[in-house]
Structure formats: C-alpha cells, structure tokens
C-alpha cells in the first residue's frame, strides 16, 4: 500500500515542478498574461509548439531507454545511438520551443502556442540532459571495456 502512494506523490510532485517551470519560462518571456479575447482551434504556431513538445517527449522516452539499457535497446553494434538521438531531439525541441515563445506577441489564449512552446522548452532541456548523461555513461563503459 505504501508503494502506490509514493508513486502518486512522485507523479504529483513532478507535475507541480513541471508546471512551475513552464510558468517561470512564460514569466521570463513576459508572455504570462492571458489574452483578453481567446482564439480557439489549431493555429500554425500552436501546431509548431505541439510538434516541438511531442519531439521533446520522444527525446525523453529515448533518453530514458538509453539510460536504462545503454546498448542492448538499440542493437549491440549501435553504441551511444540512443543517447545521441535523445540529445539531438532535446536540443531541437528546446530551440523550437524557445523560439516559439520568443516570437510570441501575446500570452496564453492568443493562438501563439506559448504554453506549448514553454513546455517544449522545458521538456527539451530535460531530454537533452538525459541524453547527455546517457552519452557520458556509454563512453565511460566503453573505456572500461577497453581497459579490461
């Protein structure tokens, strides 16, 4: 009974930290004020932000797999492929999310995709960090294999 409760607490804490970081990015970019009139539906900038956020999520999943199984998940001959893919996906997503927030002219509800862009920025940085850690781990294990 204690383990599910701990998992729920970790998920809630992670969601709270994520929401706080997204809000901090919006405040830092001066686009945290909601719009007076809201735009509903999918706009081009919202699509751009959504694609960047999905790319960041894919980078997080690949980075998690690369950390869990550094070599075997992507084939025995691939080496640090998963780590490099996670690092690249994270950097591309963070750059696109940051660019989307930087060119936005209004806050949430204006159709600029600022919330998705901020989410892509935060998740992209997390994916890049996971990829970087996995890449460092794969290089360290490769050096250990050569010395033994």
Mean pLDDT of 112-130: 94
Q: What is the 8-class DSSP label of residue 116? A: H
Phi/psi at 17 (nearest 5 deg)? -65, -40
Instruction: Using the predicted structure, report yes or no on whether residue 139 has a pLDDT greater than 80.
Output: no
Alpha carbons within 13 angstroms on the beta-carbon side of residue 16 total 6
Q: What is the pLDDT of residue 76?
A: 45
Whether the per-residue pLDDT at 145 is higher than 80: the answer is no
pLDDT at 72: 53
State the total domains in the chain. Answer: 1
Residue 59 confidence (pLDDT): 94
Distances (CA, A) of 75 to 70, 72, 114, 125, 144: 10, 5, 38, 26, 19
> How far is the C-alpha of 82 from the C-alpha of 80, rounded, in Å?
6
Domain that holds residue 119: 2-32+40-147
Count CB-CB contacts under 10 A for residue 16.
10
Name which of 41-55, 99-113, 114-128, 130-144 the model is least confident about.
130-144
| Residue 56, pLDDT score | 96
DSSP 77-90: T--SHHHHHHHHHH
For the stretch 52-100, pLDDT in tens is 999 999 999 999 888 887 555 555 445 688 889 999 999 999 999 999 9
């Amino acid at each position: 009974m204690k383990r599910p409760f701990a998992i729920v607490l970790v998920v809630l804490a992670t969601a709270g930290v994520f929401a706080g970081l997204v809000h901090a990015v919006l405040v830092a970019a001066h686009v945290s004020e909601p719009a007076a009139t809201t735009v509903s539906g999918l706009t081009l900038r919202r699509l751009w932000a959504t694609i960047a956020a999905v790319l960041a999520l894919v980078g997080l999943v690949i980075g998690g797999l690369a950390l869990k199984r550094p070599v075997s998940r992507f084939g025995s001959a691939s080496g640090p492929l998963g780590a490099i893919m996670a690092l690249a996906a994270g950097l591309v997503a963070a750059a696109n999310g940051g660019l989307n927030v930087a060119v936005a002219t209004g806050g949430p509800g204006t159709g600029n995709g600022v919330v998705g862009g901020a989410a892509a920025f935060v998740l992209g940085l997390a994916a890049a960090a996971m990829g970087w850690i996995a890449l460092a781990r794969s290089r360290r294990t490769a050096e250990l294999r050569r010395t033994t």
